[in-house]
Structure 1
Amino acid sequence: MIQEHEPFEPEATRRDAGDTESSCASRGWWDRNADEYQIEHGTFLGDDRFVWGPEGLDEVEAELLGPPEDLKGKDVLEIGAGAAQCSRWLIRQGARPVALDLSHRQLQHALRIGGVPLVEADAGALPFADGSFDLACSAYGALPFVADPVRVLREVHRVLRPGGRFVFSVTHPIRWAFPDEPGPEGLSVSASYFDRTPYVEQDEEGHAVYVEHHRTIGDRVRDVVAGGFRLLDLVEPEWPAWNTQEWGGWSPLRGNLIPGTAIFVCERE
């Protein structure tokens, strides 16, 4: 008789995780989970919407990259593009985007929908010449998952032209002090906001299969400056009344009490 084994559930822990381990874990996790992610969130994200996070803040309204009419003819790099929904929206505005992602499977979804130039690469080593782009953007791409965010910021700075804008969204740092639960159990502080130890899910042999790095608001601001940027704005989207869905630990209940997303609007010095 063949004995069936329960599927292994990764162990969640807090421990150090460097550049290489974090990058390998991110590539593997997104390659394994891209299909499920696009099925679960594809309707919300659409094929050509530019959404900054689970709250549903849309670039059409936010204009964090600038007025839509000013995007025409601009060279734009989208980092951590997933299925490249944001890049398709940029094309509709007349921009010339390139969608970059670490995950081959995520880019296969981008290729399935079509219409965008795609590049598979690590955000910490961008395969572009200096001054290749007018703008760069990243909606929850790369920066929450890398051990050295300044390295990524310096790479983005390098490929931007003088005065270029980089706008990126990440998990709001305050969320790390609360359990990742959308209901009432997620409203009590359970960890120190100041604990920068990475969140790691690891397999039976102790190898990381998912890594997310916590930075405080102050850390993020210092990273932006160290990367050569000037911080123009820090946006903390409020939860809109129309959005009734839950997304992981994000929910209307929590979103009306604490911020879930932080968006940094930066300009190349």
Structure 2
Amino acid sequence: MTPPGRVAPRRLRKSTTREPIIQEPDVHEAAETPEGSVSAGSAVSAEPDATRREAGVAESSRANRGWWDRNADEYQIEHGTFLGDDRFVWGPEGLDEVEAELLGPPEELKGKDVLEIGAGAAQCSRWLAAHGARPVALDLSHRQLQHALRIGGSFPLVCADAGDLPFADASFDLACSAYGALPFVADPVRVLREVRRVLRPGGRFVFSVTHPIRWAFPDEPGPEGLSVSGSYFDRTPYVEQDEAGRAVYVEHHRTIGDRVRDVVAADFRLVDLVEPEWPAWNTSEWGGWSPLRGGLIPGTAIFVCERD
């Protein structure tokens, strides 16, 4: 079994003052790593065991921070061309923000303070900056942020936990997360409440996740991925663990109803739920996402939320 998602997370650091903590990761290693190579420590010594079991907040955070630090190089090599350096893509279907305008018309982004959560190499933040916004790119993984520095950009990078954002209340006009953080956290309401806290009144948060229906199907791009193999209602996390039983990767399942209730519990107002259709131009496969499956069942769910 392979995980339903693995498209993009991040996080860790606590601020008692709630002022922004801008961390500039050491770029030496990223600058010295040849294009297409994998840095030391990017591979695990043995193939982890895949299972379904409970995993709490701390275990999930630790496991996923380690996984993304080890696998950031491979991820950027494999998916960097599709993601681009300064493109804002909401998921494997290729829905582009320039067309979707889920954060609003691009011409209205100028001067807006925007927080990108689970930024990875900060492709979305780079696109936002090109449209005149003032983005801050936040990620769990130090190594992912090194790739952001490698590509370049004049906006801040923050290595921090999405469940404990190191920013003052009402710091941002908008927030976004393209497959970042929320699929990988044990307490999504905690993350949503933190995002609401740092948004100004009237602020919008848009986030995309693996469509929950995918958890009932095998994570395969071909015909074998079209038959139900498990219960959609089984919320038991997907966990990869080492020989000692320590989690090295965790992904959490929420049903569509759960996601809606999470949004409401965080005192957001849900204004739209987008299920992108697979476009004819996209012939790419990305894990379990493919033209075959994308033409039959949704692969991504995008939640558009506003703070009153």
Q: TM-score range by the shorter chain?
A: over 0.9
Partners in 1 of 2:61 and 2:80 — Cα distance?
24
Structure 1 pair 3/16, CA: closer, same or farther in 2 (3 Å)? closer
Structure 1, unmatched stretches of 5+, are none
Superposed displacement of residue 174, structure 1: 0.1
Structure 1 pair 244/205, CA: closer, same or farther in 2 (3 Å)? same
Superposed displacement of residue 114, structure 1: 1.2
Structure 2, unmatched stretches of 5+, are 1-20, 30-46
1:6-155 equivalent positions in 2, closer than 5 A = 9-115=47-153, 117-155=156-194
Q: Does the aligned pair in 1 maintain the 2:23–2:159 contact within 8 Å?
A: no
Superposed displacement of residue 27, structure 1: 0.2
Deviations 1:194-243 (A, max 9, x none): 00000001111111111000000000000001111000000000000010
Deviations 1:134-185 (A, max 9, x none): 0000000000000000000000000000010000000000000000000000
Deviations 1:77-127 (A, max 9, x none): 000000000000001110000000000000000011111x10000000000
Q: CA RMSD in A?
A: 5.9
Partners in 2 of 1:249 and 1:25 — Cα distance?
22
Provide the secondary structure at the position in 1 that maps to 2:262: helix
Partners in 2 of 1:265 and 1:86 — Cα distance?
16
Deviations 1:34-53 (A, max 9, x none): 00000000000000000000
User: What TM-score results when the alignment is normalised by the length of structure 2?
Assistant: 0.84
Superposed displacement of residue 3, structure 1: 43
Superposed displacement of residue 2, structure 1: 47
Provide the secondary structure at the position in 2 that maps to 1:192: coil
Structure 1 pair 118/185, CA: closer, same or farther in 2 (3 Å)? same
| Residue in structure 1 matched with residue 299 of structure 2 by the alignment | 260
Deviations 1:30-80 (A, max 9, x none): 000000000000000000000000000000000000000110100000000
Q: Does the aligned pair in 1 maintain the 2:140–2:162 contact within 8 Å?
A: yes
| Residue in structure 1 matched with residue 15 of structure 2 by the alignment | none
Partners in 2 of 1:235 and 1:69 — Cα distance?
22
Partners in 1 of 2:219 and 2:302 — Cα distance?
20
| Residue in structure 2 matched with residue 158 of structure 1 by the alignment | 197
Partners in 2 of 1:255 and 1:203 — Cα distance?
33
| Identity in percent | 91
Structure 1 pair 3/111, CA: closer, same or farther in 2 (3 Å)? closer
User: What TM-score results when the alignment is normalised by the length of structure 1?
Assistant: 0.96
How many pairs align?
266
